[in-house]
Amino acid sequence: MTTTVSQKQILDALSKVNDPELHRSLTDLKMVRDVVIHAGKVEVTIALTVSNCPLKSQIEEDVRAAITALPEVKQVSVKLISMTDQERAALFGEPKEGAAAPYNHIQNVVAVMSGKGGVGKSLVTGLLAAALSKKGYRVGILDADITGPSIPMLLGLHGPVEPGPVGLRPLQSRGGLKVMSMNFLLTNEDQPVIWRGPLIGKAITQLWGDVMWGDLDYLLVDLPPGTSDAALSTMQSLPVKGVVMVTTPQGLSAMIVRKAVHMTQAVGVPILGVVENMAYFICPDTGKQHFIFGPSHATEITLAASAPLMAQLPIDPNVAALCDAGHVEDVKLTEIEGLIEAFVKAAPVQAERQHG
Ligand SMILES: Nc1ncnc2c1ncn2[C@@H]1O[C@H](COP(=O)(O)OP(=O)(O)OP(=O)(O)O)[C@@H](O)[C@H]1O
Ligand SMILES: [Mg+2]
């Protein structure tokens, strides 16, 4: 008598295979549509939640591996189809605000702030994100600069973004960062966003709750200058663990950054550390250090913020060129190592969730 694998065994095996994004089993998500068994040959049909699913080959591989591991299975073929809008709505409900949030697991939300414009907030966000990712952390960037987004340009990313089953899918940078910006949602990148405060706040909460960030160790929020709409909305509606405060040596910058320090203190968000950007310039001809913007005010800011100085970054024409070319992930500065060490110390990742 020849024994053969049963449909129940196959469904049991597939009930242990999770959708890698939604962390629910394929059977629970009603993705297993058909199982045909004939003389040790198994043919399964899997309905993807969306047709453009970027993880379809991983799902196919996981299904194949789970069935191949069963006894009496000689051959497995996996047919992929996709759910209809009705099927998706029956499973996840009609699309609604904040639908992605329950599927996201983000350990540390950290805002990069200054109060002052043009001091290098977006650069520091990009440098931190790229260096954390190179260390193996899972990192995202939420561009909260709704009206003047720089993150897409620093990373050379352009929309549009694709919809996923429960929200929008962030774009992936060359270095593997998950990135979402208002710019990706505009039909024309040059189109200005002319919005008042409440809409800015709403846009930020949507970039948080309507985006499939998935599992992240760090989500860095690049704030626009100022201490009002975007900064307030971010700190009041997102679970911000702390702020990295960016400053430059100018006296004016120090004065405005102190305001930002007081604002974060007023809303009860801790300052994790201070980064002084454009601290000095090393002349390539003489190797001499020049303090273009005058003497450092970093100590003053760190005292006001009760936070450590994480780094003093030089003015470097290579940095500016790489930023303009969309290659912020390729910036190499010796100061970055110390910056990351101080950052991870201030916002550590729990061991059991690291590199998952
Ligand atoms: N240390 C540096 N060396 C060279 N260029 C720099 C440095 N820091 C910033 N820049 C350049 O200065 C410009 C402004 O930097 P960035 O966009 O990061 O500032 P920002 O504080 O985010 O500005 P905004 O207030 O508009 O958001 C960028 O074009 C960047 O390339
Ligand atoms: Mg910026």
Computed over every residue of the chain, the mean pLDDT equals: 93
Give the per-residue pLDDT at 3. 66
Of the candidates 164, 155, 181, 145, the residue with the CA atom closest to the CA atom of residue 53: 164
Note the pLDDT of residue 110: 98
Residue 352 pLDDT level (bands cut at 50, 70, 90): low
Burial class (CB in 10 A: 0-12, 13-18, 19+), 49: buried
Query: Cβ neighbours of residue 45 under 8 Å, at least 6 residues apart?
Result: 32, 33, 34, 35, 79, 80, 81
Q: Say yes or no to pLDDT of 348 above 70.
A: yes
Sorted by where each begins, the domain ranges of the chain are: 7-92, 101-353
Q: Does domain 101-353 have CATH number 3.40.50.2000?
A: no
Q: Which of 113, 227, 323, 327 has most ligand 1 atoms within 8 Å of its beta carbon, as the pocket-test mutant?
A: 323
Q: Is the pLDDT of residue 354 over 60?
A: no
pLDDT (average), residues 285-300: 92
The answer to whether the beta carbons of residues 128 and 339 sit under 8 Å apart is yes
Q: How confident is the model at residue 312 (pLDDT cuts 50, 70, 90)?
A: very high
Whether 355 shows a pLDDT value over 60: the answer reads no
- Please tell me the number of Cα atoms within 13 Å of 324 on its side-chain side: 6
Cα of 118 vs centre of ligand 2, distance in Å, is 7
**Torsion angles phi and psi, residue 30, rounded to 5:** 55, 40
Task: Please state which CATH class domain 7-92 belongs to.
Answer: alpha beta
Which residue among 114, 116, 122 is best mutated to probe the pocket of ligand 1, counting the most ligand atoms within 8 A of its Cβ? Answer: 122
Q: What percentage of the chain reaches a pLDDT higher than 70?
A: 98
Helix (H, G, I), strand (E, B) or coil at 161: coil
Mean pLDDT within 124-144: 98
pLDDT at position 2 is 55
Locate 276 and state its tokens.
């002084």
Residue partners of 225: CB distance under 8 A and separation at least 6? 114, 115, 116, 117, 118, 121
pLDDT band of 254, cuts 50, 70, 90: confident
Query: From atom 11 of ligand 1, which residue's Cα is the shortest distance away?
Result: 320
Q: What is the DSSP letter of 25?
A: B
* The pLDDT of residue 228: 85
